[in-house]
Each structure stands twice: as structure tokens, then as C-alpha cells.
């Protein structure tokens, strides 16, 4: 059944306080909930008190008391998903005892077990698997949690807030009681019980309060917590400096767990993390992982204000906390590392994956209007496009007014469950900027297309720039109103200098585009300028402008905006590859575009360009991004054409690439700082090109890097290169894969990479190989990380997944059907690639559709898979 935003109603009752007692046992857990209930007078002022309906799933109700009186089972109704009971007083107390089985909970929602420890994941609607409750974010309550368990098995007992009591009980059992003074919705509840160790540090807040910081993990991983702890302290400082936000409890805890559906969760005072997003050592984590950890630790910490102190009224408002918090963590990462590169990476993900989502059958606005299963809406659209929408407000208001806006927002709504509208209103009220039309970003889905044309008048020196916008139809939204688009602009003269754009002499401007078409005139141009459009990726739109290859090469050299230099390079790459894709069926040998080859030569040799930006520019558009930009996706042609261009670049510039590789290959202690990361990244991009050469020497170089590596970044890069090298050596491939396995078989997070490198390999990643790996001793079929690595690696492997006459699709359909019974959230995520079936060339498209139809025919699908399969067929 579909739930609509327009049907939102405030709850009939509030829950002022929630007292929970968890009695944890090996075969079951008893949960006692004592709830102080109060009528919501704003909704109900009639004489009759409405019945109370609580959410609940997979619960055994042991007993139910209302104001001390036991209600027998003829006094309430228990149906799938809810418990309804009569109410006689506007204020009353409920005592509910339920029995649950965490050890059998494979959905990883609610209370479950991971490697012998108890942990929880309640967002969005997992709390209802713990007890009967008003499991909705607008019901905020003060929680007290007593956890009772075996002292030997579970020496550490954690919940939200501050520990207020602890003690020993009979039979080697003990307890700890936690109290969280801040009102919160049930989705922010957390509990952990396990045999854990911790590292401890401290942070003194801007007002001089001492906060204890603890990071918990299994003892064998305790040496991998330093980076997350450093990241946490940086985040706490940054949020004080940039947003004036101070931490509010005496203790902040992070717990690492191996079995987790997503990245991490911002539970009040007790963040729970997927171990892959928190644990790092130089030997086991790549640079990318180090940066991911820094970003996610910050993201969850920042939620303490944008999410917890001010939470969401309902799940349609999810982007209120997620879009804003992603914006906050992106700016934090930009401040800690290379700002230009962070922007390139984020824009690249958005354009590749979010644009694809917005063009597919599940397209939705950042504030969806309806859903069947909310778990399906933790999307790139809500998170990443949501971030871009907040960024556009930041751009339109400027940093100072934006900060006034966030101050007002936090001040107005502290302790409340708010809406996206509240956020925009606070921004308007604080800045005086009219965001009426801007609100279309919240209600309309689809990626706007901005088409730019220009005209130069030599006699007057006037340059006319005409900007037209449109947005393709998306499910349920045939026609769109124009968006309010901030469009970053500069004009380059023939020497590559930026021209003044106005009387003040500004050389960069953000045009505020509001009409379906408008023209801007720039005066005093001595010759026709070249426009640099959408600088810094100022809006989540596609820009169409008829750049010639010469224009793009020019922008690559002269543009002062890192994002646009990179984008010019990508556009040139896309042109060169698409040219080969179009002629893929013709037998004749097709030459690779010489302008591209020349431009890459200049790029490789450029002594002034920042290493990190150079590395990004040297990476050809990914297969996924080529697919996203194609009218019709031809997988084989894309793989072959991209490979051919890569080989041509490698062959043409082998000497320069090798020289650069050697220059960057010097021994030094591992340090995950931006400058070092940039050097390693560029070096490994060079190695990737060398792997595209057909010579034995390059292979030896890769083997040498693999064997000599002192950190995981270099070892993983070399492994990937060896596996997919052009000059293949089966024996070497076997040898390094075995070596890698022997070194890291006891480290679950590193082994994820071992599975991914194989299933994602154009050479190795066959259906048979993936099937065999699923039977491997180190493959844990209950671990979302393993499933994502192996199955996700394979579905992202364009050379294999799409080119097996449908065997890949059938394999995926089998996995989805099987997984749906175990973990619906993961099942629904891994099937996403099939939902893009309409964009593929006919044969592949038909086979993908067939696989979807087979999933659809299964009885008792979860709401997760049901929604995705039905919307995509």
C-alpha cells in the first residue's frame, strides 16, 4: 500500500517518556517498555478518546498493562504490523512486554546479532521490531534504557545518553542503565552488548565542556581506530567553527559492527558504524577508504544537530536531514583535503549515478510525494541531489546569510520534528532572499537540461548568451515548471584570460536563471569569448553547449575552475569514445581521435597542475558515465571503445607515463594526508595506463609494486592492474590473488576487496567465477558487505554482466529472490541495475525485463523488492 505526503496527520497521542528494559538471552530477548502517554489535544478535542494504534512487527506480545491493569487479549486487536487498544484517560501509562529473537533476525533491522554481539538499526522503521510503539519521527520521547545480560559474554552494555547506574545480578548477569536527556524519535534509539574493547580520547567544547570520546570494536581491530578518532575530533571542531554547533552529552560513542545494511547510523550519542566505514590501518585500508571514513564519521557526527536536535516530521522530509548533512560533510572534506578534487568527485558521482536514477523508473523529487517502502528512498536523489539543493541555497545567499539561515533554523526548531519547508523558510527569513520558485527543486524530479547558445556582434562588441531550460518528463510528472538555477559563468578571451563581466569588473558571476529562456548581454568583448559554464558545478543540471574539440582543449588548458577543466577533459573523452561506439559494428580499424591524444600529452607533462586534479583529469569517463550519457546503451561497444582509447593514450605517451610513474614512486612512510594521497593516486593512474600496454616489462613493474607495497593503496592498485592487464599472465594472476588471500584472509573488510576485484574484472568476472566465489569459505552470505562486493562488483562489470546472453541477469534474479527472504533491504539494492532495462539495446533490454518479470512473479515479496520491481516494469 502506498503512503502519501498529502495524507500526513499529526499523531493522536504523544509519548512523553519511554523506559525500556532489555533482558538479553541466547535464544530470545525480553523487552519491557513503560510508556507515559498523553493525548495530542491539538488533534483531538472531542469527548471520545480515540483508540491507540501502535506499530509492531515480528513481536510476541507477552503482556499488556494500561495504568497497572492487565488487558487480556479480548481487549485489544493484534493484526499484522499493529496493536490497537482502547483509551480511557487523556494521560495514561502503558507497560508492554514483548519477546523477540535477535539471533534469528537476518533483516539487520531492529535488534540483531553480528559476530556474537547485539546491536540495533532502527532507522527508518526498525524500532517496531523491538516493541510496540508510535514508530514515527514526529513522536519524540525521553528514553531511559536498562540493558541486562551475561557479564562473561557481554561485558560492554551500551545505549543512548549517559550511563546512570550499573550493577551485578545473580547468575553472572549484570546491567547498565542509560539515560538520554534529549527528546528523540524511536529511529535514533540504539543498544549494543558485546565483548568489545575501546579507545578513548577527549574533546573540550567551545564552552569548555569535557566530552569523553570512545570507539568500540572487537579486540583484534582495536589498532584500527586512530583515524576515525582523529576524524571525529576534527569534525567536532569544524562544526563549532563553521556552524557554531556544540556537542551536548558527556560522552560520544562509536561502535564498529561487521553486519550492517548501510554505512553508518547517527543514533544519539551512540553512532553505529559498518566496520568498513570506521576501521583503518595503512596495511588494510586504501586512501579512498581513509577519506571515506573521515567523511562518514563527520556525517554521522553532524547529524547530532542536523537530524537529532532538529529531526524530521515524517519520512518524506528525509532530505531535510540527509541533504543538509551531506552538504555539511562535503564542505568539511573540502576544508580538510583538496576542495577542487572533492567537487570533481562529488559531481562525478552525481552525474553518473543520480542522473541515471532521475532518468529511470524510480525517479522521485528530493522530497518524494509517495512511497511503498521508505527504505527504498535512501537514494542518491535524497542524499546527493538533496546536498546540491542545499548547496544552491548557499550559493544564492552567500556564506554569511546562509549561516544566519542555519542559526535561525536550529534556533527555531531545536527539539522539534521539522519539514523541508521549515528549512527553506528559515533561509528566506534570515536572508531576505525570495526562494519561492526555488522550492520547485523540492517537488519536481528529473534532471533539468540547460541549453546555451551564443552570438557575438563584432561591430558593437556585444556578446549575447541565451540560456534555455527544460526538464524531461518523469513518472507522475509530465510537465515541469522552470527551476531557479544558479549558473556559474566566466568568459575566456583568445589568450585564455577571464574577461570582466560587468561594470564592477567581476570575472566570475553566478547568473540567477528563472525563465524557460533568457538572454544576457556582455559588452565590450574584443572578439568572440568562450563561455565557461556551470562553474564549480553550480547546479545539478546537464549543460548543452556546442563546444568544438578545440574549445575543449582550450578550456582544459586555460579555465581557472578545476571542475570545468576536468569537465572539458571528460567531454573530449566522451566525444572520442562515442565516435568509436557509433562505428563499432563496422569492421574497419578506427583511429582514436588525435586531438584527444595530443591533449593528454600536454596534460601528462603539465608541471603546474595539482597532482590530484591531474589524476582526475587523466581518468577517462567511466563505463557507467558513458552509459548514462548514451541514448541507447551498447555495453560491448562501450567497453571495447573505452579500452581502445585507453590503450591508444598509453601507447602514444608510454615514455611520459613511465617517467611520471617513476618520479612519483619513492619510498616514504604512509600518511593519509591530501598531498600524499594525491601523489599515490596519480602514480596509480599512470600504472593503470602502463597496464594497457602490451609488454612484459609493465607486467613486471606491476608485480614489483604489488610485492613491494608498504600500504594497501599501492597493493590493491597493483592487484587490479595485474588482473586486467593487457599483457596477461594467468600464472601471475593466480599467484597474486593467492598471496593476497593468504595475507588478509582473517580481515573481513580487506577480503571484501578480494571478492570485488575478481567479480569486477573484465577478464575474471564470469558468472561461473562469481558462483564459485559464493561458495568460498571466506564468503559470508549474511554479510551485506560481502554481498555488495561480490554481486555489486559483478553487476557493475559491464564487460561481463551484460554480455552473457542473459546468464548474468538470471543469476542476479536468483540472488534477489533468495536474498529477499533473508534481507529485503539488500535484495532491493542489488537489483537496481536491472531497473535500467529500457535504456539498453534490444536484446539485453528484453533479457533484463524477463529477469524482472521472474522476480515479480514470486509470492510474498517484501515491500522493498515489490515496490522496485513493480515500478520498473
Q: Which listed residue (109, 125, 294, 300) is catalytic?
A: 300
Q: What cell does 163 get?
A: 550511563
| 867 is a contact residue toward ligand ARG (CB under 6 A) | no
What is the distance between the alpha carbons of residues 665 and 676, in angstroms, rounded to a whole number?
A: 11
Count of helices and strands (H, E) across the chain: 30, 31
* Neighbour-count burial for 399-436, b at 16+ CB within 10 Å, e otherwise: eebbbbbbebbbebbeeebbbbebbbbbbbebbebebe
- Closest approach of ligand ARG to the CB of residue 121, in Å: 6
Interface with ligand ARG, residue 868, by CB under 6 A = no
Which range in 20-28, 264-272, 363-371, 691-699 contacts ligand ARG by CB under 6 A? Answer: 264-272
* Closest CB 291 distance from ligand ARG, rounded Å: 16
As measured in angstroms, the least distance from the Cβ of 273 to Zn ion is 12
Tell me the three state secondary structure of residue 542: strand
CB 40: neighbour CB atoms within 10 A?
A: 16
β-bridge partners, 143: 18, 180
Nearer to ligand ARG, 102 or 635 (CB): 102
Which of 264, 299, 221 has the alpha carbon at shortest distance from 750?
221
Q: Which residues contact 726 (CB under 8 A, 6 or more apart)?
A: 647, 691, 692, 693, 694
Cβ 58 to ligand ARG shortest distance, Å? 16
Question: In this structure, what is the dihedral angle of CA atoms 171, 96, 257, 673, given to the nearest 10 degrees?
Answer: -120
Give me the 291-320 binding string for ligand ARG, x by CB under 6 A, dash otherwise: --------xx--------------------
- Among 263, 46, 16, which residue's Cα sits nearest to residue 134? 16
- DSSP for 109-156 reads SEEEEETTEEEEE-TTTTGGGTS-B--STT--EEEEEEEEEETTT--E
390 binds, among Zn ion, ligand ARG, none (CB under 5 to 8 A by kind): none
| The only residue of 378, 441, 442, 755 in contact with ligand ARG, by rule CB under 6 A | 378
CB of 483 to ligand ARG, least distance (A): 26
> Interface with ligand ARG includes 813 (CB under 6 A)?
no
Considering the complex, state which of residue 265 and residue 861 has its C-beta at the smaller distance from ligand ARG.
265
Give the separation between CA 765 and CA 793, rounded to whole angstroms: 9
Supply 562's cell numbers: 578545476
94 or 264: CB nearest ligand ARG: 264
Is 272 a binder of ligand ARG (CB under 6 A)?
A: no
Q: Which cell is 713 given?
A: 593503496
By beta-carbon proximity to ligand ARG, the closer residue of 215 and 272 is 272
Q: Report what 867 binds from Zn ion, ligand ARG, none; CB cut-off 5-8 Å by kind.
A: none
Q: Which is nearer to Zn ion, 322 or 623 (CB)?
A: 322
- Cβ-proximal residue to ligand ARG, closest one: 378
Which of these segments, 94-102, 262-270, 588-596, 729-737, binds ligand ARG (CB under 6 A)? 262-270
According to CB under 6 A, which one of 375, 538, 823, 872 is a site residue for ligand ARG?
375
Closer residue to Zn ion in complex, CB, 311/444: 311
Select from Zn ion, ligand ARG, none the partner in contact with residue 384, using the beta carbon and a kind-dependent cut-off of 5 to 8 Å: none
In this chain, which stretch among 68-76, 319-327, 502-510, 778-786 interacts with Zn ion, using CB under 5 A? 319-327
Shortest spacing between CB 318 and Zn ion, in angstroms: 9
Verify binding: residue 322, ligand ARG, rule CB under 6 A. Answer: yes
- Cα(486)–Cα(782) distance, integer angstroms: 45
Give the one residue of 266, 329, 357, 384 binding ligand ARG; rule: CB under 6 A: 266
589: annotated active-site residue? no
Residue 374 carries which DSSP code?
G
Contact segment (CB under 6 A) with ligand ARG among 173-181, 256-264, 281-289, 848-856 equals 256-264
Specify the residue, 57 or 428, whose C-beta has the smaller distance to ligand ARG: 57
| Packing angle of the helix pair 420-431, 318-336 (nearest 10 deg) | 60
By the rule CB under 6 A, 409 interacts with ligand ARG: no
Residue 871 sits at φ, ψ, to 5 deg, of -75, -20
Using rule CB under 6 A, residue 280 touches ligand ARG? no
Q: CB neighbours (10 Å) of residue 695?
A: 13
Question: Which of Zn ion, ligand ARG, none has residue 262 at its interface (CB below 5 to 8 Å by kind)?
Answer: ligand ARG
* Binding at 132: pick from Zn ion, ligand ARG, none (beta carbon under 5-8 Å per type): none
Nearer to Zn ion by Cβ, of 218 and 294: the residue is 294
Say which entry of Zn ion, ligand ARG, none residue 752 contacts (CB below 5 to 8 A, set by partner kind): none
Instruction: Please report which helix (H) or strand (E) contains residue 380, including its range.
Output: helix 380-380
> If you search the block for the grid coordinates 607533462, which residue do you land on?
605
Instruction: Give the span between the Cα atoms of 460 and 219, in whole angstroms.
Output: 75
* Beta-carbon count within 10 A of 73 CB: 9
Site for ligand ARG in 106-145 (CB under 6 A): 123-124
Choice between 266 and 358, CB closer to ligand ARG: 266
Pairing of β 173-184 and β 141-150: antiparallel
Give the Cβ contact number of residue 537 at 10 Å: 23
* Contacts for 239 with CB less than 8 Å, ≥ 6 apart: 245, 246, 301, 302, 305, 328
Please give the size of the binding site for ligand ARG, defined by CB under 6 A. 13
Provide the grid cell at 403.
549561516
Binding segment for ligand ARG (CB under 6 A), chosen from 95-103, 260-268, 538-546, 661-669, is 260-268
Location of C-alpha cell 510508556: 35
Nearer to Zn ion, 314 or 322 (CB): 322
Separation of alpha carbons 316 and 747, rounded Å: 39
Least gap, CB of 311 to Zn ion (angstroms): 12
Q: Which residues bind to Zn ion, rule: CB under 5 A?
A: 322, 325
- Residues in the site for ligand ARG, rule: CB under 6 A? 123-124, 261-266, 299-300, 322, 375, 378
Q: Which residues are catalytic?
A: 300
Amino acid at each position: 500500500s502506498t503512503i502519501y505526503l498529502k495524507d500526513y496527520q499529526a499523531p493522536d497521542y504523544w509519548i512523553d517518556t519511554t523506559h525500556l528494559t532489555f533482558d538479553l538471552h541466547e535464544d530470545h530477548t525480553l523487552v519491557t517498555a513503560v510508556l507515559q502517554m498523553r493525548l495530542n489535544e491539538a488533534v483531538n478535542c472531542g469527548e471520545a478518546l480515540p483508540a491507540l494504534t501502535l506499530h509492531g512487527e515480528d513481536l510476541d506480545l507477552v503482556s499488556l498493562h494500561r495504568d497497572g491493569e492487565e488487558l487480556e487479549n479480548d481487549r485489544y486487536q493484534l493484526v499484522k504490523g499493529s496493536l490497537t487498544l482502547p483509551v480511557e484517560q487523556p494521560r495514561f501509562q502503558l507497560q508492554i512486554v514483548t519477546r523477540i529473537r535477535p539471533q534469528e533476525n537476518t533483516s539487520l533491522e531492529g535488534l540483531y546479532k553480528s559476530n556474537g554481539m547485539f546491536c540495533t538499526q532502527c532507522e527508518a522503521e526498525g524500532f517496531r521490531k523491538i516493541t510496540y510503539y508510535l514508530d514515527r519521527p514526529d513522536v519524540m520521547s525521553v528514553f531511559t534504557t536498562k540493558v541486562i545480560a551475561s557479564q562473561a559474554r557481554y561485558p560492554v552494555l551500551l545505549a543512548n545518553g549517559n550511563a546512570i547506574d550499573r550493577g551485578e545480578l545473580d547468575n553472572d548477569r549484570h546491567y547498565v542503565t542509560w539515560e538520554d536527556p534529549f527528546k528523540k524519535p524511536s529511529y535514533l534509539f540504539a543498544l549494543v552488548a558485546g565483548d568489545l574493547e575501546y579507545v578513548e580520547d577527549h574533546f573540550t567544547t567551545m564552552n569548555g565542556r569535557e566530552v569523553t570520546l570512545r570507539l568500540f570494536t572487537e579486540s583484534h581491530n582495536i589498532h584500527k581506530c586512530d583515524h576515525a578518532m582523529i576524524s571525529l575530533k576534527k569534525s567536532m571542531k569544524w562544526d563549532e567553527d563553521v556552524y557554531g554547533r556544540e556537542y551536548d552529552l558527556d560522552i560520544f560513542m562509536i561502535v564498529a559492527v561487521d553486519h550492517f545494511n548501510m554505512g553508518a547510523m547517527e543514533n544519539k550519542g551512540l553512532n553505529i558504524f559498518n566496520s568498513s566505514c570506521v576501521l583503518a590501518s595503512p596495511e588494510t585500508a586504501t586512501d579512498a577508504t581513509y577519506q571515506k571514513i573521515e567523511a562518514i564519521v563527520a556525517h554521522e557526527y553532524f547529524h547530532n544537530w542536523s537530524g537529532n536536535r532538529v529531526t524530521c516530521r515524517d519520512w518524506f522530509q528525509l532530505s531535510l536531514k540527509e541533504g543538509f548533512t551531506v552538504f555539511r560533510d562535503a564542505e568539511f572534506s573540502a576544508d580538510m583535503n583538496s576542495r577542487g578534487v572533492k567537487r570533481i568527485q562529488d559531481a562525478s558521482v552525481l552525474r553518473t549515478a543520480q542522473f541515471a536514477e532521475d532518468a529511470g523508473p524510480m525517479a522521485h523529487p528530493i522530497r518524494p510525494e509517495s512511497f511503498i517502502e521508505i527504505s527504498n528512498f535512501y537514494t542518491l536523489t535524497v542524499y546527493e541531489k538533496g546536498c546540491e539543493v542545499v548547496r544552491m541555497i548557499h550559493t544564492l545567499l552567500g556564506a554569511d546569510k546562509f549561516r544566519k539561515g542555519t542559526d535561525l533554523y536550529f534556533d527555531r526548531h531545536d527539539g522539534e520534528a521539522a519539514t523541508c519547508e521549515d528549512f527553506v523558510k528559515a533561509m528566506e527569513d534570515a536572508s531576505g532572499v525570495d526562494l519561492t520558485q526555488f522550492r520547485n527543486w523540492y517537488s519536481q524530479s528529473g534532471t533539468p537540461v540547460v541549453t546555451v547558445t551564443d552570438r557575438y556582434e563584432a561591430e558593437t562588441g556585444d556578446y549575447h548568451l541565451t540560456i534555455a531550460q527544460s526538464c524531461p518528463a518523469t513518472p507522475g510528472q509530465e510537465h515541469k515548471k522552470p527551476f531557479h538555477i544558479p549558473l556559474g559563468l566566466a568568459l575566456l578571451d583568445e589568450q585564455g584570460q577571464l574577461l570582466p563581466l560587468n561594470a564592477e569588473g567581476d570575472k566570475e558571476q553566478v547568473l540567477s536563471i528563472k525563465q524557460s529562456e533568457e538572454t544576457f548581454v556582455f559588452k565590450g568583448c574584443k572578439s568572440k569569448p568562450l563561455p565557461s559554464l556551470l562553474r564549480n558545478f553550480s547546479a545539478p543540471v546537464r549543460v548543452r553547449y556546442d563546444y568544438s574539440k578545440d574549445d575543449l582543449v582550450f578550456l582544459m588548458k586555460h579555465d581557472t575552475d578545476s571542475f570545468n577543466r576536468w569537465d572539458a577533459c571528460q567531454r573530449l573523452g566522451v566525444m572520442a569514445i562515442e565516435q568509436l561506439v557509433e562505428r563499432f559494428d563496422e569492421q574497419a580499424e578506427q583511429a582514436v581521435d588525435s586531438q584527444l591524444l595530443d591533449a593528454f600529452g600536454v596534460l601528462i607533462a603539465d608541471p603546474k597542475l595539482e597532482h590530484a586534479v591531474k589524476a582526475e583529469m587523466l581518468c577517462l569517463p567511466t563505463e557507467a558515465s558513458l552509459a548514462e550519457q548514451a541514448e541507447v546503451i551498447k555495453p560491448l561497444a562501450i567497453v571495447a571503445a573505452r579500452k581502445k582509447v585507453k590503450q591508444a593514450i598509453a601507447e602514444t605517451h608510454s615514455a611520459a607515463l613511465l617517467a611520471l610513474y617513476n618520479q612519483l614512486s619513492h619510498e616514504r612512510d604512509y600518511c593519509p594526508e591530501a598531498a600524499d594521497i594525491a601523489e599515490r593516486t596519480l602514480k596509480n593512474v599512470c600504472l593503470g595506463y602502463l597496464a594497457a600496454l602490451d609488454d612484459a616489462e609493465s607486467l613486471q613493474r606491476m608485480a614489483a609494486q604489488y610485492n613491494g607495497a608498504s600500504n594497501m593503496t599501492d597493493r590493491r592498485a597493483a592487484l587490479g592492474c595485474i588482473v586486467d592487464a593487457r599483457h596477461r599472465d594467468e600464472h601471475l594472476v593466480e599467484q597474486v590473488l593467492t598471496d593476497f588471500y593468504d595475507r588478509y584472509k582473517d580481515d573481513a573488510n580487506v577480503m571484501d576487496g578480494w571478492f570485488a576485484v575478481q567479480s569486477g574484472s573484465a577478464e575474471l568476472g564470469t558468472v561461473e567465477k562469481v558462483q564459485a566465489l559464493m561458495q568460498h569459505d571466506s564468503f559470508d552470505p549474511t554479510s551485506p558487505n560481502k554481498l555488495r562486493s561480490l554481486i555489486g562488483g559483478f553487476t557493475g562489470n559491464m564487460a561481463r554482466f551484460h554480455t552473457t546472453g542473459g546468464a548474468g541477469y538470471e543469476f542476479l534474479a536468483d540472488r534477489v529472490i533468495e536474498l529477499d527472504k533473508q534481507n529485503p533491504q539488500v535484495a532491493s539494492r542489488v537489483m537496481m541495475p536491472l531497473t535500467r532495462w529500457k535504456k539498453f539495446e534490444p536484446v539485453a533490454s528484453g533479457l533484463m525485463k524477463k529477469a524482472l518479470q521472474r522476480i515479480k512473479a514470486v509470492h510474498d515479496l517484501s515491500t522493498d523488492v515489490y515496490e522496485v520491481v513493480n515500478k520498473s516494469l
